[in-house]
Structure formats: structure tokens, C-alpha cells
Amino acid sequence: MNSNTAATMEKTNQNESIAVVKRAIISVSDKTGLVDFAQHLAALGVEIYSTGGTSRHLSEAGIEVRDVSDYTEFPEMMDGRVKTLHPKIFGGILCRRDNPEDLTSVETHGMVPLDLVVVNLYPFAETVARPDCDRSMAIENIDIGGPSLVRAAAKNNAFVTIATSPKQYDAIVEELKTHGGTSETLRRQLMADAFRHTAEYDQMIANFFAASETETVSHLPSTVSLELHRTAELRYGENSHQAAALYEFSDEPVTSLSKMNQRNGKELSFNNLLDVNSGLNMVSSFHDPACVVIKHNNPCGAATGTQLRDVVSRAFQGDPISAFGSIVAINRNMDLDTAQLLATGDYFIEAIVCTGFDEEALRVLTTEPKWKKNVRLLESPMVSEVADRYDMRLVHGGMLVQQADDLRVSPADWTLATSEPISDALMAELTFAWNMVRFVKSNAIVLGKNQALCGVGAGQMSRVDAVRISIEKAGEQAAGSVLASDAFFPFPDSIEIASQAGIAAIIQPGGSVKDKDVIAACEQHGIPMMLTGRRHFLH
């Protein structure tokens, strides 16, 4: 057998096999750190084979490279669609170094074993994110040869090392310097990463074309594939006996919670992240400055207006008792005046998420409040309308999937059901309340006044109980407030209670068989009622 035919298999002191690397094939889209990596390989005597743009990139850096076309004696063709798909490439990768028949085939057909495969794939996700990307552009950015090389090398990991990310280069170089090859442990880790890489890539392609085609009348795909990466291990879940972690979708936008910039405070908990997510959804629905105070995924206070300090102050007045230990979400940068309000007031805040912190505001919040060391200060962009296109809930044996409830407030579509007119000022209050009630757990009732929440009844089994709780929470503020209900009133009893509390106007979807009775009760008590025709259950 020719000495060039097979890569040598050696053993470490721990009796672990080492695959010596004599030759590498490199073909990458992401060239981060590539020149430095290739220089290390060349210095260690590794012969490098490469293609197209990668070959030029390395050659321009003064690294000796053998072109794949010269080795295969077959030119690249079809605009690069066919370049590595050749038996001399795949035979060199897939040959089993301990199989005599494989080694004979390698010699007979003039192949050489390829011991290290360095490949990452066409930037499909980046391409389809471009506003000018059409179907043909997306198709041209589907990698064929790359995934094939990756899978071949990963399959033959007993002898071949596969690198699919620049983050892996240092570990490979370190082992090459130490052992002259790679350990079995590293190769197996890289194999798992490689198959994960190609699976994620295929999923991105499938998801893109599934979203672009109408597969069903409901516009939901016939198959849903999920690929998530763990980005953080959490101390525990909702309760201390539950393990928990944060995962991120592979194609998640910049509004992913894992991409938030934490400027201060303790590690985020599972419950913190749930509340931060809810808060971002709520404040992102407002164009004017807005603040929401969150407890257990429900708003216990919210307000909008023109001056941020005033908005935040009014948000906390909604339910000061429940606001203790809350999460605060703001759709603007935290300024000095607002920071001073929070630092000097009688507040206890677990976390604040906003678009950014002015430097003086950051100084105040990290030096003045009693809770300064622990409060999590988080910077995040606001959530776009498409950030949560689907809502997914795990159930036994599967998953429920629905389109996200991103229906925006549209007063032009509402109907005045009573003869009592509604002023422009009252309509503005109803608009605010209707926007907020869709974020409250059902059955849900909210009371709004002066563009702020003053009472919330959340998660009740009966709507009339939700009405009673919201009025009790509001106290004296209930008089003159407006009431929003996430779904219809099944009976007029809620209207009677609202009348006794001095509710000025009501907004609800309508659609009950008792609508006539409910509207009649509003007429009797002189309460104008708007019907939206859309409900907003949130379970």
C-alpha cells in the first residue's frame, strides 16, 4: 500500500484514536478567520485543496492551494453549480482507512484521502431576508455540493474531521499542534454540529418556500419544522424544581430575547423572560411613548402620552400594590427625568426593558435606588408585526399552531350599537382600552381613563367576575372610565355592575345571542357601546 493512500490512525495516552490530517479541502461562504486557520494548516504541512472564491481568497493571502478542478481534471461548470460533486472528492472523503477494499479503490482511481473538510453553506437566510429577493434568487442560493461534503465527512468521522463554523477552527488547530491530528472526541462533537448545521439549513429552505406558497386555505403550512439553539441555561423554570433554558430559532430577527443587551442586574429568570416578552409585545403596539407594568404576563398598569416621565408615572398608578416586583417595558429610550422618578419613588422593579438608556439615566438607576444592584436593565428593539407570525402551544403528542393575533386596532371598522353618541375624547379612551385588553389573559376586562389603565380583571372563569375585579382594582378611578371586554357579554348583568360603578362607555366584540339585551341595558343606563366584531381571547 502506498504511504500516501491512507491517513495514519494513532492513539493518545488515553487510548483514544487520533486521525492524522495530511490533506484538507476548504470551500466556505463565511470566510471569517479563514486565512489565519489556513496559515496554521500550511505551517503544519497540511496540503490544501479548494474551489472558486475560497481558492482565490487563500491564494491572495499567499497560501499555497491546489485547485479542486486540477485534482479532479474536471472543470467547474454551470456558474459553479457543479464543482465538488465528483467521485475523486467524495471517494477521498468517504474511504474507510481501515478497509483494504476502500484503500485499493483509492489507489486504482488516482484518489487521495481528504482528512479535513472545511465547509459552510451559502447564506440562504441572509439572501431571503433581502427586500429584493425573489423566488429565483432564493433558489440560486440553495447549496448542493456543500451539504453533500458536510454529510460525507460527518458520516466518516472515524477518520475525517469536519468543520462547519469558524468557531471550531481554534480547537482543531490546537489538537493538530498537540497530536498531529484530531481526537475521536472532537471529531464526534464536530459530526453532531455538522448534521445540525445541514438540518438547520434544509429547514430554513423548507420554511421559506412553505411560507411563500399557500398550502391550505388557512395559510398554515402542512408541516412545521423547528430548529432551536440553546442560548442560555436558566437557574430554574417557573418553579425551583423545574430545569429551564432559553432557545432561539435559527432565523430569529434582532428582536429575539437572547439578543437583548443587559446593562445591569442579576441573571434573567424564566419568569422574567416571559414577562419581558409580554411587555415588549404590548408597548410595541403604541406609536406614542408608552409604558406597561407587567406581573405574571398581565399588565397591572399601562399608559401612553407625550412625556415619558408622565407616562411612566401614570402607568404605575394603575395598580401600585400589584406593581411591586414588576417588569417595566417602555417603547423609548430611558431618559434622566424618568430614571429619577423611578429611583426616588416607592418602587421595587425586577427589570426594565426599553430601546436604550441615556448615560445619565443608566448612572441613576445603577447607583440610587435600593434595588440598584439587582434590577435587570435591558435594551431591545421593539417587536415588528411579523416577529411572531405563528403562535405555537405544546400539547400532549403534538402542537397547536395558529396565526399570531396581530390584528391591529381599527376604529373605522367599529359600530356604535347604542343611540348615545361618543365624543372624540371618549373614542380615544376606548381605542386605548381596546388595544390593551387583547394582551390580558381571558376572560379579560380592562378599565381605562386618561390614556392609562386603572383596573384589570384577568384570567377569570366568568366575565362578570372579571368586571367586578376590574372595578374593585380601579376603586374611585372607575367612575368616568371606559370598559373594554375581550369577548362578548353573555348576559346584561355585567352592564348593571358597570353602570353602578359609573362606567362612561363600553367596547366589546358583540356576537352573543343576548346582544339585544346587553345593548338595551346600555341604553337604559345611558352608556354608549361600541362593537368591534372581533374578539381577542388569550389563553
Active site residues: 155, 296
3-class DSSP state of 382: coil
* Residue 484 CB partners (closer than 8 Å, separation 6+): 430, 433, 434, 436, 437, 445, 446, 447, 448, 506, 507, 508
Question: Which one-letter amino acid corresponds to residue 491?
Answer: F
- Closest Cα partner for 339 from 309, 317, 378? 309
Q: Is the peptide bond before 443 cis (omega within 30 degrees of 0)?
A: yes
- C-beta contacts of 308-315 below 8 A and 24+ residues apart: 308/332, 308/335, 308/337, 308/338, 309/335, 309/337, 309/338, 309/341, 312/338, 312/341, 312/342, 313/341, 314/450, 314/451, 314/452, 315/291, 315/452, 315/453
Rounded distance between C-alpha atoms, residue 358 and residue 367, angstroms: 14
For residue 401, the cross-strand partners are 392
Coil, strand or helix at 264: strand
Alpha helices in 33-86 (DSSP H): 34-43, 52-60, 68-72
CB-based burial label for 243 (10 Å; 0-12, 13-18, 19+): exposed
Question: Beta-carbon neighbour count of residue 474 at 10 Å?
Answer: 25
What is the separation of C-alpha 176 from the centre of its chain, rounded to a whole number of angstroms?
37
Which pairs with CB-CB distance under 8 Å and at least 24 residues apart come from 370-373? 372/264, 372/343, 373/265
- Return all residues near 166 (Cβ < 8 A) that are at least 6 apart: 30, 32, 33, 34, 37, 120
Spatial CA neighbour of 466 closest among 492, 446, 437, 496 = 446
Burial label for 41, CB within 10 Å (0-12, 13-18, 19+), is: buried
Separation of alpha carbons 317 and 131, rounded Å: 43
Separation CA 22–CA 181 (nearest Å)? 9
Extended beta strands in 29-149, E state: 47-50, 66-67, 116-120
* Strand, helix or coil for residue 320: coil
Cα 277 to Cα 170, 244, 383, distances in angstroms: 36, 16, 9
Exposure on the CB side of residue 147, measured as CA atoms within 13 A: 17
